[in-house]
């Protein structure tokens, strides 16, 4: 089972590859606000654990296992942002809150939140009621 730090790295690598077509240690370090040496150590561990293939000075690629997890982690992050937005969390708090909770929820909880998001999207009245509740003192 990957650690929260491993998940953060895999998620960021997946996003970089999706947007730029590649992920370099320096890009990962910048995105995660960590030292490149820390990223190199983590990338070596992720390589050893079968999530990616890392060749020094040549870059890295996600394995099918890493790509599958990366995609799932990105979807989890997006789902939690969507959920917090739907329940009326202030926009400037959403990213920080998602970062704080995403690693502490089971996949079962994530699945239930996905069901709740679907329900909220299908029934705008619930969202309106939540908005009214938020505005009450």
Residue 104 annotated as part of some ligand binding site = no
CA separation for the pair 43, 54 (Å, rounded): 7
Residue 11 annotated as part of some ligand binding site = yes
Residue 77 annotated as part of some ligand binding site = yes
134: exposed, middle or buried (Cβ count in 10 Å: 0-12, 13-18, 19+): exposed
Element (H or E) spanning 127, and its range?
Answer: helix 124-135
Buried b (16+ CB within 10 A) or exposed e, 84-98: bebbeeeeeebeeeb
Residue 78 annotated as part of some ligand binding site = no
Residue 131 annotated as part of some ligand binding site = no
The answer to whether residues 31 and 19 touch, using CB atoms and an 8 Å cutoff, is no
Residue 121 annotated as part of some ligand binding site = no
Instruction: Give how far Cα 84 sits from Cα of 102, 114, 116, 133, Å.
Output: 12, 12, 11, 15
Binding site, annotated residues for Mn(2+): 8, 11, 77, 99, 102-103
Binding site, annotated residues: 8, 11, 77, 99, 102-103
């Amino acid at each position: 089972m990957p650690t929260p730090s491993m998940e953060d790295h895999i998620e960021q690598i997946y996003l970089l590859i999706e947007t730029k077509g590649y992920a370099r240690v320096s890009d990962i370090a910048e995105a995660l606000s960590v030292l490149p040496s820390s990223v190199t150590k983590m990338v070596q561990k992720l390589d050893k654990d079968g999530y990616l293939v890392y060749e020094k000075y040549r870059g890295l690629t996600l394995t099918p296992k890493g790509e599958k997890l990366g995609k799932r982690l990105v979807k989890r992050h997006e789902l939690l942002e969507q959920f917090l937005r739907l329940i009326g969390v202030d926009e400037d708090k959403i990213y920080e809150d998602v970062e704080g909770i995403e690693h502490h929820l089971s996949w079962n909880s994530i699945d239930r939140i996905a069901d709740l998001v679907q329900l909220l999207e299908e029934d705008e009245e619930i969202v309106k009621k939540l908005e009214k509740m938020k505005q009450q003192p």
